[in-house]
Amino acid sequence: MTASRLNGVRYAIRDVLKEAKRVEATGKKLIKLNIGDPNAFDFDAPEELRKAIREATELKENGYSDSQGLLLLREKVVEYNKTKGVHCTAEDVFVTTGLSEAIHMLSAALVEPASNVLLPAPTYPQYQAVTVLHDGEPRFYDCLEGEGWFPDVDDLRKKADEKTAFISLINPNNPTGALYPRKKLKEIIDFAGELGVPVLSDEVYDRLVFEGEHVSTASIASDVPIVTMNGLSKNFFAPGWRCGWITLTGFPDDSLKEGILKLCSLRLCAPVLEQRAAIAGLETIDSWIGGYVEKLRKRRDLLVKRCNEINGLTCVKPKASFYAFPSIEWSGSDEEFCLELLRETGVLTVHGSGFGGKGKHFRMVFLPSESVLEEAFDLIDGFLKAKRSL
């Protein structure tokens, strides 16, 4: 009944839920460390954003907006980008229904059948799935665990060819929590410039930084085609509101802009109340983000300590985002590890191979409270000890 283009599409983060539902139905309590939704834990969107939605409702802002997005929001994005050293105008900004829609639009606009897309390994799996959906080949470049999960630029160079449609960068990174240094970004965009292909720079976690400074890729070069991507889901703690935005800089002509505008028109507009919230969010983020980061930092520190104390686990310290990607000593596959852990302890994580990575890892969020994280690590520790004694 479905078109064959769906056959190769997999999405590991959501795939594990089937087994989790089955286990939960047996009456087992689950500790859900699998999904990057802060609102499933003790986080909520800031009052400033919630108020903006309420006010927009009262003012009956219930009609369509401009397909490209409310002009005022695009102007706020311009101001925000400027604070990151990225110079653009409101014409360069497109508002989307979350970054997911932007990823679909950019793939529809850039990926030809038989072209390839260079994705970090490990990656946020939606990029891989959407590339397959558009008949492209997801091609992975290594990120090196021993070097803080930074991209291996030599490998990136080897994987690129004349059929490369774009290079994807996720910084801060999901699933590893890595924050890329300026030097690494410069090497990558120098290469993209040589090759003449766009870089899609996913910066949806750029304010959730614990150490160091986030450098926006587009701030490094204005003459390399770069799409900077951001949205409400992570920095603004409102993933359910489905609002994102992309900024195009350094493109030699307007063809991608025209293509994206066409796709924006096809779906009329992004949700309007949420665009109002995004305006309030961009105006106020500096006043509230610190509290969120401090809360996450404590949980990150606890995670790293517990992980590195447990025999069989090691974890590179996440510098940003709310994910960690511990490596496991385990005789089977990492998928088997996650399934057995789930069935025996109720701790729900996602296998690292589902993110296209090498080796054996799992991804977990450090969004839960300290007491829930402690409980999860006690269970993981007990599980690994029991397996070793078999």
State which residue, 204 or 310, has the beta carbon closest to ligand PLP: 204
Residue 27: how many CB atoms within 10 A of its CB? 6
User: Which of these segments, 98-106, 148-156, 158-166, 382-390, binds ligand PLP (CB under 6 A)?
Assistant: 98-106
Tokens of 70: 């409310």
User: Which of these segments, 69-77, 96-104, 268-276, 335-343, binds ligand PLP (CB under 6 A)?
Assistant: 96-104
Q: Are 283 and 255 in contact (CB under 8 A)?
A: no
Q: Are 163 and 144 in contact (CB under 8 A)?
A: no
Q: Rule CB under 6 A: is residue 357 a binding residue for ligand PLP?
A: no
How many of the chain's residues bind ligand PLP (CB under 6 A)? 13
Residue 146: how many CB atoms within 10 A of its CB? 7
State which residue, 36 or 69, has the beta carbon closest to ligand PLP: 36
Q: Is 227 helix (H, G, I), strand (E, B) or coil?
A: strand
Q: Rule CB under 6 A: is residue 356 a binding residue for ligand PLP?
A: no
Give the amino acid at 75.
E
Q: Rule CB under 6 A: is residue 244 a binding residue for ligand PLP?
A: yes
* Segment 208 to 237, residues that bind ligand PLP, using CB under 6 A: 231, 233
Residue with the two structure tokens 């994910």? 323
Q: Rule CB under 6 A: is residue 202 a binding residue for ligand PLP?
A: yes
Q: Rule CB under 6 A: is residue 174 a binding residue for ligand PLP?
A: yes
State which residue, 23 or 273, has the beta carbon closest to ligand PLP: 273
State which residue, 178 or 280, has the beta carbon closest to ligand PLP: 178
Q: Exactly one of 80, 94, 124, 210 binds ligand PLP (CB under 6 A); which one?
A: 124
Q: Rule CB under 6 A: is residue 281 a binding residue for ligand PLP?
A: no
Question: For residue 113, with 0-12 CB atoms within 10 Å meaning exposed, 13-18 middle and 19 or more buried, which class applies?
Answer: exposed
Residue with the two structure tokens 């490094």? 220
Q: How far is the CB of 287 from ligand PLP (least distance, A)?
A: 23
Give the amino acid at 71.
L
State which residue, 237 or 377, has the beta carbon closest to ligand PLP: 237
User: Which of these segments, 95-103, 259-267, 337-345, 366-374, binds ligand PLP (CB under 6 A)?
Assistant: 95-103
- Phi-psi domain of 145 (left: phi exceeds 0; alpha: psi -120 through 50; beta: other): alpha
Q: How far is the CB of 12 from ligand PLP (least distance, A)?
A: 12
Give the amino acid at 382.
G
Residue with the two structure tokens 């801060």? 172
User: Which of these segments, 60-68, 92-100, 261-269, 377-385, binds ligand PLP (CB under 6 A)?
Assistant: 92-100
> What per-residue string of b and e applies to 338-352 under the rule 16 or more CB within 10 Å gives b?
bbebbeebbbbbbbb
User: Which of these segments, 97-105, 191-199, 278-286, 292-300, binds ligand PLP (CB under 6 A)?
Assistant: 97-105
Dist. CA 95–CA 372, nearest whole Å:
36
User: Which of these segments, 94-102, 112-120, 249-257, 305-313, binds ligand PLP (CB under 6 A)?
Assistant: 94-102
Q: How far is the CB of 124 from ligand PLP (least distance, A)?
A: 4
State which residue, 36 or 354, has the beta carbon closest to ligand PLP: 36
Q: Rule CB under 6 A: is residue 142 a binding residue for ligand PLP?
A: no
Q: What is the DSSP string of 322-348?
A: SEE--EE--SS-HHHHHHHHHHHH-EE
Q: How far is the CB of 285 from ligand PLP (least distance, A)?
A: 16
Dist. CA 241–CA 152, nearest whole Å:
35
Residue with the two structure tokens 């057995």? 340
DSSP 79: H
List contacts with ligand PLP (CB under 6 A).
Answer: 36, 98-100, 124, 170, 174, 202, 204, 231, 233, 239, 244
